[in-house]
Structure 1
Amino acid sequence: MGTVVDIAVAVVLIYAVLAILAGRPPLSGPAVAVFAVAEGTALWRAFTSGPGWLLWPAFAAAALWLANLVVGFTVMRRLRRTDPQVLREEVLRTATGAAPPQQLVLGVAPGGALMMQGVRPEGGAILAYGCPMCFVEEVVDTLVGPDAPVVAAYRRTLLGGTNRLFDLHRGVIDGRWHADLRPVRGPQRPYRPPYCPVHAS
C-alpha cells in the first residue's frame, strides 16, 4: 500500500512541476489543496518509513512554487492602482497621439492586474474598480472597431480556461489599429472576477 501512495504522490508532484514550468501553476482552491497534501505526504514519507527519493519531487515542486509566488508578488508591488477612466484615456492618448507606437499589448494576469506593453514603463497597472477584462475589451473595441471578432475569440479562449493577450499593431499603409491574440508567457489561467456578469463564469 505504501508503494502505491508513494507513486501517486510522486505523480502529483511531478505534474505540479510540469504545470509550473508550462506557466500553469496550481492556483485554484482544490488544486492548491491537492498540491499541499501531496507535498506534506511526500515529506512525511521521505523522513519516516518511505523512500528517500520522494524528497526530490517534493523539493523541486516547493522551490518552483515559492519562486512563482515571489515573482508574482514582486511584479504586483511595482504596479500602481489607477482609476479605469484615467487609465483608458492614457492608453488611448498613447495610441492616437502625434507619435503613436507601432504595437501595444494588453491583457489580464491571473491575479487581475493589467499587463500593458507600450503604455507604461512598469508594464501594467491595477484597476481601482471594475473588471480588467472588460477594460481591455473596451480599449480594443475603441481602437480596432466595435464588435471586433478578436474580442469574441478572446472570450472563447477564456471560457476554455486559457488566457490570451491582445496584440495591437498599426497598419503600415493606413496607420489603423489591428488586433490579434497571442499566448501569455507565464501562468495562463484566466482571471475570474466574481463581480463581472460577463467574465465571472
Structure 2
Amino acid sequence: MTTFFCMRHGQTDWNQDKRIQGHTDTELNETGREMARQWGKALADNSFDCILTSPLLRASLTADLVNEALGTLPLHTDARLMEQDWGQWTGLTKAELAEIRKQVKTQEYKGFEFRPPAGESRNEVLMRVCDAFLEFADDHAGKKVLVITHNGVLKVLTYALSGLDFMPDDTPPIKPGCLHRIESFENELALGEINMEL
C-alpha cells in the first residue's frame, strides 16, 4: 500500500485577488512563501519518503520550501497533477464570473462534466490525476508520499472518493489549509482521512 498525504500550494497574488489561475504559472507571494515554511516545520516530524508535486511554480516552490524542513527528500514532478485548465475563464475573478452566472451555473449542474469554454472537464482532471497516483504507487509501493498540488485536483479526488456528484448543493468535503490522506492498494484509490490539521 502507498499512502499519499495531499495538500494545496501556498498563496499567490491571484489567490488573494480571487482570480482563476488554471494552468497560468503564477508564483507564490510572500504570504504563500511563509505558509510553506510554516507547513514544513509542522510536518517535520512525519516520516515521508518523498514528495510528489505539480510542475506549476506555485506548487513546486511550495514543495521546495516545505522540503527545506523535511531534510531534502527526493522530489518528483508530474504534469498530470496540474490544476484544471479553465480555458476562456482563466484569469477571471469571482466577481467577473458572477457577471456570467447563468453560463457558469449551467456548467456547475453538470457535476464532474463541468467544463469551462475551451477548458477541460472535472472528469478529465480526475482521470489524469488518478492515473498519476496509481502509476506512482506502482513504482513506490509501501511509501509515504507528500503531494503538493492544487485546489481543483484535491476537490475532484475527494468528491469522487467520497461518492459525491460534485453538485453545487453538495457540502464541500475538504477544508482549506489541511492535509488529506489517500491510500493506494491493488490499483485502486481510497479516501483515508480528510481535513487533517497541519
TM > 0.5 fold call: no
Computing the radius of gyration from Cα coordinates, the structure with the larger value is 1
TM-score by length of 2: 0.23
TM-score by length of 1: 0.23
The structure in which a higher percent of residues are helix is 1
